[in-house]
Structure 1
Amino acid sequence: MSHKNLQLATFGGGCFWCTEAVFIEIKGVEKVVSGYSGGNAPGHPTYREICSGLTGHAEVIQVTFDAHVISYEDLLVIFMTTHDPTTLNRQGADRGTQYRSVIYYHDEKQKEMAEVVLKKVTPYYKDPVVTEISPLDVFYEAEGYHQNYYKNNREQGYCSFVITPKLAKLRKLHADKLK
Protein backbone atom coordinates (compact mmCIF):
# COMPACT_ATOMS: atom_id res chain seq x y z
CA MET A 1 0.00 0.00 0.00
CA SER A 2 1.52 3.32 -1.05
CA HIS A 3 1.35 6.51 0.94
CA LYS A 4 -0.23 9.52 -0.68
CA ASN A 5 1.71 12.70 -1.32
CA LEU A 6 -1.14 15.21 -1.02
CA GLN A 7 -0.49 18.74 -2.24
CA LEU A 8 -2.57 21.81 -3.07
CA ALA A 9 -2.96 23.76 -6.29
CA THR A 10 -5.09 26.88 -6.71
CA PHE A 11 -6.33 28.07 -10.11
CA GLY A 12 -8.73 30.68 -11.44
CA GLY A 13 -9.93 30.13 -14.98
CA GLY A 14 -13.18 32.05 -15.14
CA CYS A 15 -16.26 30.66 -13.47
CA PHE A 16 -15.28 28.18 -10.77
CA TRP A 17 -18.12 25.87 -11.76
CA CYS A 18 -16.26 25.15 -15.02
CA THR A 19 -12.81 24.61 -13.58
CA GLU A 20 -14.18 22.50 -10.73
CA ALA A 21 -15.98 20.21 -13.20
CA VAL A 22 -12.75 19.74 -15.18
CA PHE A 23 -10.48 18.91 -12.27
CA ILE A 24 -12.91 16.51 -10.56
CA GLU A 25 -12.38 14.24 -13.59
CA ILE A 26 -8.57 13.98 -13.21
CA LYS A 27 -6.79 10.89 -11.86
CA GLY A 28 -4.98 11.71 -8.63
CA VAL A 29 -7.28 14.59 -7.72
CA GLU A 30 -8.66 13.89 -4.26
CA LYS A 31 -10.82 16.97 -3.77
CA VAL A 32 -11.79 20.21 -5.53
CA VAL A 33 -13.19 23.15 -3.57
CA SER A 34 -14.61 26.28 -5.20
CA GLY A 35 -13.73 29.56 -3.56
CA TYR A 36 -12.31 33.06 -3.78
CA SER A 37 -8.80 34.44 -3.63
CA GLY A 38 -6.61 37.35 -4.65
CA GLY A 39 -8.65 40.24 -3.35
CA ASN A 40 -8.31 42.81 -0.62
CA ALA A 41 -11.80 43.13 0.82
CA PRO A 42 -11.93 42.48 4.56
CA GLY A 43 -13.59 39.36 5.92
CA HIS A 44 -14.96 36.28 4.21
CA PRO A 45 -16.51 37.44 0.91
CA THR A 46 -19.87 36.27 -0.37
CA TYR A 47 -20.71 35.28 -3.92
CA ARG A 48 -22.79 38.41 -4.32
CA GLU A 49 -19.81 40.56 -3.27
CA ILE A 50 -17.52 38.69 -5.67
CA CYS A 51 -19.95 39.20 -8.55
CA SER A 52 -19.83 42.96 -7.98
CA GLY A 53 -16.20 42.91 -9.06
CA LEU A 54 -15.32 45.26 -6.20
CA THR A 55 -13.55 42.81 -3.86
CA GLY A 56 -10.57 42.13 -6.11
CA HIS A 57 -11.09 38.40 -5.56
CA ALA A 58 -11.16 35.88 -8.38
CA GLU A 59 -13.35 32.81 -8.54
CA VAL A 60 -10.88 29.98 -7.99
CA ILE A 61 -10.67 26.31 -7.21
CA GLN A 62 -8.37 24.67 -4.73
CA VAL A 63 -7.30 21.20 -5.83
CA THR A 64 -6.01 18.57 -3.41
CA PHE A 65 -4.00 16.10 -5.47
CA ASP A 66 -1.74 13.12 -4.96
CA ALA A 67 1.62 14.04 -6.52
CA HIS A 68 2.43 10.32 -6.79
CA VAL A 69 -0.43 10.00 -9.29
CA ILE A 70 -0.51 13.37 -11.11
CA SER A 71 2.15 16.05 -11.18
CA TYR A 72 1.64 19.75 -10.58
CA GLU A 73 3.04 20.29 -14.08
CA ASP A 74 0.33 18.06 -15.57
CA LEU A 75 -2.34 19.95 -13.63
CA LEU A 76 -0.97 23.24 -15.00
CA VAL A 77 -1.07 21.95 -18.57
CA ILE A 78 -4.65 20.76 -18.11
CA PHE A 79 -5.57 24.14 -16.61
CA MET A 80 -3.93 26.10 -19.41
CA THR A 81 -5.58 24.04 -22.15
CA THR A 82 -9.14 23.87 -20.80
CA HIS A 83 -9.81 27.61 -20.51
CA ASP A 84 -8.82 30.63 -22.60
CA PRO A 85 -5.70 32.13 -21.01
CA THR A 86 -5.59 34.94 -23.60
CA THR A 87 -8.63 36.97 -22.52
CA LEU A 88 -8.03 39.52 -19.80
CA ASN A 89 -10.66 39.38 -17.05
CA ARG A 90 -13.01 37.32 -19.18
CA GLN A 91 -14.02 33.77 -20.01
CA GLY A 92 -16.70 33.59 -22.68
CA ALA A 93 -19.63 35.76 -21.61
CA ASP A 94 -18.34 36.05 -18.02
CA ARG A 95 -16.60 39.43 -17.66
CA GLY A 96 -14.83 41.12 -14.76
CA THR A 97 -11.69 40.75 -12.68
CA GLN A 98 -13.37 37.91 -10.76
CA TYR A 99 -13.06 35.81 -13.95
CA ARG A 100 -9.35 36.40 -14.57
CA SER A 101 -6.96 33.63 -15.52
CA VAL A 102 -4.65 33.13 -12.54
CA ILE A 103 -2.36 30.58 -10.97
CA TYR A 104 -1.88 31.05 -7.23
CA TYR A 105 1.26 29.27 -6.19
CA HIS A 106 1.81 27.74 -2.75
CA ASP A 107 5.63 27.73 -2.81
CA GLU A 108 8.59 28.70 -4.98
CA LYS A 109 8.65 25.32 -6.76
CA GLN A 110 5.07 25.85 -7.90
CA LYS A 111 5.91 29.40 -9.04
CA GLU A 112 8.84 28.15 -11.10
CA MET A 113 6.79 25.36 -12.65
CA ALA A 114 3.97 27.78 -13.51
CA GLU A 115 6.47 30.02 -15.31
CA VAL A 116 7.88 27.03 -17.23
CA VAL A 117 4.43 25.78 -18.29
CA LEU A 118 3.28 29.25 -19.39
CA LYS A 119 6.37 29.55 -21.61
CA LYS A 120 5.72 26.06 -22.97
CA VAL A 121 2.06 26.64 -23.92
CA THR A 122 2.28 30.26 -25.11
CA PRO A 123 3.36 29.37 -28.69
CA TYR A 124 0.14 27.39 -29.15
CA TYR A 125 -2.02 30.50 -28.79
CA LYS A 126 -2.54 33.15 -31.45
CA ASP A 127 -3.03 35.90 -28.85
CA PRO A 128 -0.75 36.69 -25.88
CA VAL A 129 -1.27 34.64 -22.71
CA VAL A 130 -2.43 36.94 -19.88
CA THR A 131 -2.53 34.39 -17.05
CA GLU A 132 -1.40 35.96 -13.78
CA ILE A 133 1.03 34.07 -11.53
CA SER A 134 0.74 35.22 -7.91
CA PRO A 135 1.44 33.88 -4.43
CA LEU A 136 -1.58 32.48 -2.61
CA ASP A 137 -2.39 34.76 0.28
CA VAL A 138 -5.70 33.40 1.49
CA PHE A 139 -8.35 31.05 0.13
CA TYR A 140 -12.00 31.51 1.10
CA GLU A 141 -14.29 28.55 0.49
CA ALA A 142 -17.39 29.48 -1.51
CA GLU A 143 -20.89 28.85 -0.27
CA GLY A 144 -22.06 25.23 -0.19
CA TYR A 145 -24.33 25.49 -3.22
CA HIS A 146 -21.28 26.24 -5.41
CA GLN A 147 -19.55 22.98 -4.50
CA ASN A 148 -19.99 20.14 -7.03
CA TYR A 149 -22.11 22.56 -9.02
CA TYR A 150 -22.00 20.78 -12.37
CA LYS A 151 -22.71 17.38 -10.84
CA ASN A 152 -25.72 18.79 -9.00
CA ASN A 153 -27.06 21.06 -11.78
CA ARG A 154 -26.34 19.43 -15.15
CA GLU A 155 -29.77 20.31 -16.49
CA GLN A 156 -29.20 24.06 -16.12
CA GLY A 157 -28.48 26.03 -19.29
CA TYR A 158 -25.05 27.30 -18.18
CA CYS A 159 -23.93 23.76 -17.45
CA SER A 160 -25.20 22.43 -20.79
CA PHE A 161 -23.86 25.22 -22.98
CA VAL A 162 -20.61 26.14 -21.21
CA ILE A 163 -19.38 23.35 -18.95
CA THR A 164 -20.31 20.30 -21.04
CA PRO A 165 -18.22 21.53 -24.03
CA LYS A 166 -15.26 22.19 -21.69
CA LEU A 167 -15.49 18.62 -20.46
CA ALA A 168 -15.58 17.36 -24.06
CA LYS A 169 -12.39 19.32 -24.75
CA LEU A 170 -10.80 17.84 -21.61
CA ARG A 171 -11.68 14.32 -22.73
CA LYS A 172 -10.24 14.96 -26.19
CA LEU A 173 -6.97 16.57 -25.04
CA HIS A 174 -6.27 14.69 -21.81
CA ALA A 175 -7.98 11.30 -22.03
CA ASP A 176 -4.95 9.62 -20.47
CA LYS A 177 -5.32 11.73 -17.31
CA LEU A 178 -8.98 10.94 -16.60
CA LYS A 179 -10.32 8.80 -13.76
Structure 2
Amino acid sequence: MNKVILELMTVGGGCFWCVEAVFDEIKGVVKVVSGYSGGNAPGRPTYREVCSGLTGHAEVVQVTYDPNVVSFEDLLVVFMTSHDPTTLNRQGADTGTQYRSVIYYHTDVQKEIAEVVVKELASYYERPIVTEISPLEQFYEAEAYHQNYYANNQNAGYCSAVITPKLVKLRKLHADKLKN
Protein backbone atom coordinates (compact mmCIF):
# COMPACT_ATOMS: atom_id res chain seq x y z
CA MET A 1 0.00 0.00 0.00
CA ASN A 2 1.40 3.42 -1.02
CA LYS A 3 1.53 6.13 1.58
CA VAL A 4 -0.09 9.41 0.53
CA ILE A 5 2.26 12.38 0.82
CA LEU A 6 0.24 15.48 1.63
CA GLU A 7 1.33 19.00 0.72
CA LEU A 8 0.72 22.46 2.17
CA MET A 9 -0.44 25.71 0.63
CA THR A 10 -0.69 29.01 2.55
CA VAL A 11 -2.74 31.90 1.11
CA GLY A 12 -4.62 34.98 2.24
CA GLY A 13 -7.43 36.74 0.43
CA GLY A 14 -9.32 38.85 2.93
CA CYS A 15 -11.03 37.43 5.97
CA PHE A 16 -9.75 33.93 6.69
CA TRP A 17 -13.27 32.73 7.43
CA CYS A 18 -14.13 33.23 3.75
CA VAL A 19 -11.01 31.58 2.38
CA GLU A 20 -11.34 28.65 4.79
CA ALA A 21 -14.97 28.05 3.72
CA VAL A 22 -13.95 27.99 0.06
CA PHE A 23 -11.17 25.42 0.48
CA ASP A 24 -13.28 23.24 2.77
CA GLU A 25 -15.39 22.46 -0.31
CA ILE A 26 -12.55 21.39 -2.63
CA LYS A 27 -11.94 17.75 -3.45
CA GLY A 28 -8.49 16.62 -2.27
CA VAL A 29 -8.33 19.16 0.56
CA VAL A 30 -7.78 17.29 3.79
CA LYS A 31 -7.60 20.16 6.28
CA VAL A 32 -7.84 23.96 6.35
CA VAL A 33 -6.47 25.94 9.29
CA SER A 34 -7.00 29.68 9.74
CA GLY A 35 -4.02 31.65 10.95
CA TYR A 36 -1.59 34.52 10.52
CA SER A 37 1.58 34.97 8.45
CA GLY A 38 3.84 37.57 6.99
CA GLY A 39 4.29 39.87 9.93
CA ASN A 40 7.29 41.11 11.80
CA ALA A 41 5.98 41.57 15.33
CA PRO A 42 7.71 39.35 17.90
CA GLY A 43 5.90 36.40 19.45
CA ARG A 44 2.62 34.69 18.66
CA PRO A 45 0.09 37.22 17.38
CA THR A 46 -3.48 37.42 18.62
CA TYR A 47 -6.52 38.23 16.51
CA ARG A 48 -6.84 41.62 18.17
CA GLU A 49 -3.19 42.44 17.41
CA VAL A 50 -3.49 41.34 13.77
CA CYS A 51 -6.71 43.35 13.33
CA SER A 52 -4.88 46.45 14.53
CA GLY A 53 -2.77 46.27 11.38
CA LEU A 54 0.37 46.88 13.43
CA THR A 55 1.84 43.35 13.32
CA GLY A 56 2.25 43.16 9.55
CA HIS A 57 0.54 39.77 9.55
CA ALA A 58 -2.13 38.79 7.05
CA GLU A 59 -5.12 36.60 7.85
CA VAL A 60 -4.32 33.39 5.96
CA VAL A 61 -5.30 29.77 5.70
CA GLN A 62 -2.98 26.82 5.55
CA VAL A 63 -4.41 24.14 3.31
CA THR A 64 -3.31 20.50 3.61
CA TYR A 65 -4.11 18.69 0.37
CA ASP A 66 -3.51 15.48 -1.55
CA PRO A 67 -1.60 16.40 -4.76
CA ASN A 68 -2.80 13.13 -6.31
CA VAL A 69 -6.37 14.50 -6.17
CA VAL A 70 -5.91 18.26 -6.69
CA SER A 71 -2.89 20.16 -7.93
CA PHE A 72 -1.32 23.24 -6.39
CA GLU A 73 -2.09 25.04 -9.66
CA ASP A 74 -5.79 24.14 -9.49
CA LEU A 75 -5.95 25.28 -5.86
CA LEU A 76 -4.40 28.60 -6.85
CA VAL A 77 -6.94 29.09 -9.64
CA VAL A 78 -9.73 28.46 -7.12
CA PHE A 79 -8.08 30.92 -4.72
CA MET A 80 -7.54 33.64 -7.32
CA THR A 81 -11.13 33.41 -8.58
CA SER A 82 -12.76 33.30 -5.15
CA HIS A 83 -11.59 36.77 -4.06
CA ASP A 84 -10.63 40.03 -5.78
CA PRO A 85 -6.85 39.88 -6.34
CA THR A 86 -6.86 43.42 -7.77
CA THR A 87 -7.67 45.33 -4.58
CA LEU A 88 -4.72 46.28 -2.42
CA ASN A 89 -5.17 45.55 1.30
CA ARG A 90 -8.92 45.12 1.01
CA GLN A 91 -11.66 42.58 0.34
CA GLY A 92 -15.11 44.11 0.32
CA ALA A 93 -15.65 46.03 3.55
CA ASP A 94 -12.58 44.46 5.17
CA THR A 95 -9.68 46.90 4.85
CA GLY A 96 -6.09 46.88 6.06
CA THR A 97 -2.86 45.05 5.31
CA GLN A 98 -4.15 42.05 7.28
CA TYR A 99 -6.65 41.48 4.42
CA ARG A 100 -4.11 41.58 1.57
CA SER A 101 -4.12 39.07 -1.24
CA VAL A 102 -1.05 36.89 -0.76
CA ILE A 103 0.43 33.54 -1.72
CA TYR A 104 3.09 32.29 0.70
CA TYR A 105 5.05 29.63 -1.12
CA HIS A 106 6.63 26.66 0.66
CA THR A 107 9.00 25.65 -2.17
CA ASP A 108 10.63 27.18 -5.24
CA VAL A 109 8.31 25.06 -7.39
CA GLN A 110 5.28 26.61 -5.67
CA LYS A 111 6.77 30.06 -6.30
CA GLU A 112 7.16 29.32 -10.02
CA ILE A 113 3.63 27.93 -10.30
CA ALA A 114 2.20 30.94 -8.43
CA GLU A 115 3.97 33.37 -10.78
CA VAL A 116 2.65 31.51 -13.85
CA VAL A 117 -0.94 31.32 -12.52
CA VAL A 118 -1.01 35.02 -11.63
CA LYS A 119 0.37 35.94 -15.05
CA GLU A 120 -2.11 33.68 -16.87
CA LEU A 121 -5.11 35.04 -14.95
CA ALA A 122 -4.13 38.71 -15.35
CA SER A 123 -6.02 39.11 -18.63
CA TYR A 124 -9.30 38.10 -16.95
CA TYR A 125 -9.27 41.18 -14.73
CA GLU A 126 -9.81 44.82 -15.69
CA ARG A 127 -7.27 46.03 -13.11
CA PRO A 128 -3.77 44.70 -12.38
CA ILE A 129 -3.44 41.80 -9.95
CA VAL A 130 -1.75 42.96 -6.73
CA THR A 131 -1.41 39.54 -5.08
CA GLU A 132 1.85 39.32 -3.15
CA ILE A 133 3.98 36.20 -3.72
CA SER A 134 6.41 35.68 -0.84
CA PRO A 135 8.18 32.81 0.94
CA LEU A 136 6.40 31.41 3.98
CA GLU A 137 8.49 32.25 7.00
CA GLN A 138 6.12 31.41 9.83
CA PHE A 139 2.51 30.32 10.18
CA TYR A 140 0.65 30.94 13.43
CA GLU A 141 -2.61 29.08 13.97
CA ALA A 142 -5.46 31.42 14.86
CA GLU A 143 -7.48 31.05 18.04
CA ALA A 144 -9.82 28.04 18.23
CA TYR A 145 -13.02 30.06 17.74
CA HIS A 146 -11.81 31.05 14.23
CA GLN A 147 -11.43 27.44 13.05
CA ASN A 148 -14.31 26.06 10.94
CA TYR A 149 -16.03 29.39 11.47
CA TYR A 150 -18.46 29.19 8.57
CA ALA A 151 -19.38 25.57 9.28
CA ASN A 152 -20.15 26.52 12.88
CA ASN A 153 -21.85 29.88 12.22
CA GLN A 154 -23.63 29.70 8.86
CA ASN A 155 -26.58 31.77 10.08
CA ALA A 156 -24.43 34.61 11.44
CA GLY A 157 -24.85 37.88 9.56
CA TYR A 158 -21.32 38.01 8.11
CA CYS A 159 -21.57 34.41 6.96
CA SER A 160 -24.93 34.94 5.25
CA ALA A 161 -23.99 38.25 3.66
CA VAL A 162 -20.38 37.62 2.64
CA ILE A 163 -19.36 33.96 2.74
CA THR A 164 -22.48 32.27 1.34
CA PRO A 165 -22.38 34.36 -1.89
CA LYS A 166 -18.69 33.43 -2.33
CA LEU A 167 -19.61 29.76 -2.03
CA VAL A 168 -22.41 30.15 -4.59
CA LYS A 169 -19.87 31.65 -7.01
CA LEU A 170 -17.38 28.87 -6.22
CA ARG A 171 -19.96 26.17 -6.93
CA LYS A 172 -20.71 27.73 -10.34
CA LEU A 173 -17.10 28.31 -11.39
CA HIS A 174 -15.50 25.16 -10.03
CA ALA A 175 -18.24 22.51 -9.81
CA ASP A 176 -15.80 19.88 -11.11
CA LYS A 177 -13.46 20.42 -8.15
CA LEU A 178 -15.98 20.14 -5.33
CA LYS A 179 -16.30 17.36 -2.79
CA ASN A 180 -19.44 15.27 -3.23
Q: Does 1:8 align with 2:12?
A: no
The answer for the alignment partner of 1:136 in structure 2 is 136
The answer for the alignment partner of 2:156 in structure 1 is 156
Query: What is the Cα deviation at residue 2 of structure 1?
Result: 4.9
Q: How does 1:65-84 map to 2 (within 5 A)?
A: 65-84=65-84
TM-score (norm 2): 0.98
SS in 1 for 2:83: coil
The answer for the alignment partner of 1:98 in structure 2 is 98
Q: How does 1:7-156 map to 2 (within 5 A)?
A: 7-156=7-156
What count of residue pairs does the alignment treat as equivalent?
A: 179
Give the Cα separation in 2 of the matches to 1:178 and 1:123: 25
Stretches of structure 1 that go unaligned for 5 or more consecutive residues are none
SS in 2 for 1:41: coil
Give the Cα separation in 2 of the matches to 1:2 and 1:25: 25
Give the Cα separation in 2 of the matches to 1:13 and 1:52: 17
Opposite residue 69 of structure 1, the aligned amino acid is: V
Give the Cα separation in 1 of the matches to 2:129 and 2:22: 20
Query: What is the Cα deviation at residue 5 of structure 1?
Result: 2.5
Task: Give the direction of change, closer, same or farther, for the CA distance of 1:70–1:55 in structure 2 (3 Å limit).
Answer: same
Give the Cα separation in 2 of the matches to 1:140 and 1:19: 16
TM-score (norm 1): 0.99
Off by >6 Å, runs of 4+ in structure 1: none
Indicate the percent of aligned positions where both proteins have the same amino acid.
Answer: 77
RMSD, matched Cα = 0.7
Give the Cα separation in 2 of the matches to 1:33 and 1:45: 15
